[in-house]
Amino acid sequence: KVRSMWTLVMETLTSLKKEKEVVDSVLNVLNGSVDQCVLDGTNFVLHVPRMLAHRVESDIHQLCTGNLYEAGKLNALTVIQLLNEALRALRDEYHQSELKPQLKDIEVMVTVCNTLLQKLKAKSLVIEEQQQVSRSQSSRREEDWQVKWRNFLGLCPFSAVICQDPVSSVQFY
């Protein structure tokens, strides 16, 4: 019976170990026996990457104002502004990387469209040449018919029709 009670006590103490550590740390702070950390920016070195520094310096709107350190202490407002600018830079890079695959698709589409346009222009030239050949052939055939009619009738039938048509001989003033 004693052994089972001892086991139960040990299990309870083990389960309460984390809670005991929290309570001990609070008691130590209240008693002043623990070094307290103050976030005042002393003894803190901040390294700003060149790209971010260049971006902030060349910014037209000058969103970041002030120095990182004032009177040997870290200026929290400037640090927050600098961190915001770093987040904007990351966002811009992310959006640029999203556009690169779309850009390649668009470039392929432009290349295909340019090739198609060149083919259509070539086809248009061929059709235009065929149309000119067809016109020249039809005018030659018309001339041949006129020569045959002149030889047969002595005059062109079209000129005879025009002369006999009273409507065509009417003059308008």
Q: Report DSSP letters for 39-104, one per residue.
A: -SSTT------HHHHHHHHT-SS----S-SEETTEE-HHHHHHHHHHHHHHHHHHHHHHHHHHHHH
The pLDDT confidence band at residue 116, using thresholds 50, 70 and 90, is: very high
The rounded mean pLDDT for the chain is 77
Give the per-residue pLDDT at 172: 55
Give the per-residue pLDDT at 24: 80
Residue 141 has pLDDT above 80, yes or no: yes
Residue 31 lies in a domain: no
Number of domains forming the structure of the chain: 1
Residue 31 has pLDDT above 90, yes or no: no
Least confident of 12-16, 60-64, 104-108: 60-64
Question: What percentage of the chain exceeds 70 in pLDDT?
Answer: 71
The domain containing residue 63 runs over which residues? 36-164
Residue 12 lies in a domain: no
Residue 50 lies in a domain: yes
Residue 36 has pLDDT above 60, yes or no: no
Question: What percentage of the chain exceeds 90 in pLDDT?
Answer: 12
CA-closest candidate to residue 47, choices 78, 76, 68: 68
pLDDT in tens, 42-98: 666 667 778 777 777 777 566 666 676 777 777 777 778 888 888 888 888 877 766
